[in-house]
Amino acid sequence: MQNPMDFNGRVVLVTGGGKGVGRGISKRFMAAGAEVAICGRNPPEQLPAAGGREAFFVACDVRKYQQLEA
């Protein structure tokens, strides 16, 4: 049976992943092997890291469709 929390080789986009619940979700995905991109209006003071990985930030306001297309 395959481990459902194995995200090795996968990329995950977490909106609002720089703080609060989103930060916790980002760290859990990294611990499971994923590369994590955090999408938000402002970069967090410190990017979350876990499992020997560090998230990267993409500036984007999900309320603005034009920014989502880019």
pLDDT per position as a tens digit, 22-53: 999 999 999 999 999 999 888 888 888 888 88
- Does the residue 6 lie in any domain? no
Q: Is residue 21 part of a domain?
A: yes
Does residue 44 contact residue 57 with C-beta atoms inside 8 Å? Answer: yes
Q: Specify if 4 maps to a domain.
A: no
Given a cut of 60, is residue 1 above it in pLDDT?
no
Residues 6 or more apart in contact with residue 8 via CB below 8 angstroms = 32, 33, 34
The answer as to whether 34 is a domain residue is yes
Does 48 map to a domain? yes
Q: Which domain holds residue 53?
A: 11-69
Find the range with the poorest average confidence among 4-8, 20-24, 56-60, 66-70: 66-70
Domains: count for the chain: 1
Q: Identify the band that residue 68 occupies on the pLDDT scale cut at 50, 70 and 90.
A: confident
Alpha helices in the chain (DSSP H): 20-31, 65-69
Domain assignment present for residue 53? The answer is yes
Position 56 in a domain: yes
pLDDT of residue 70: 66
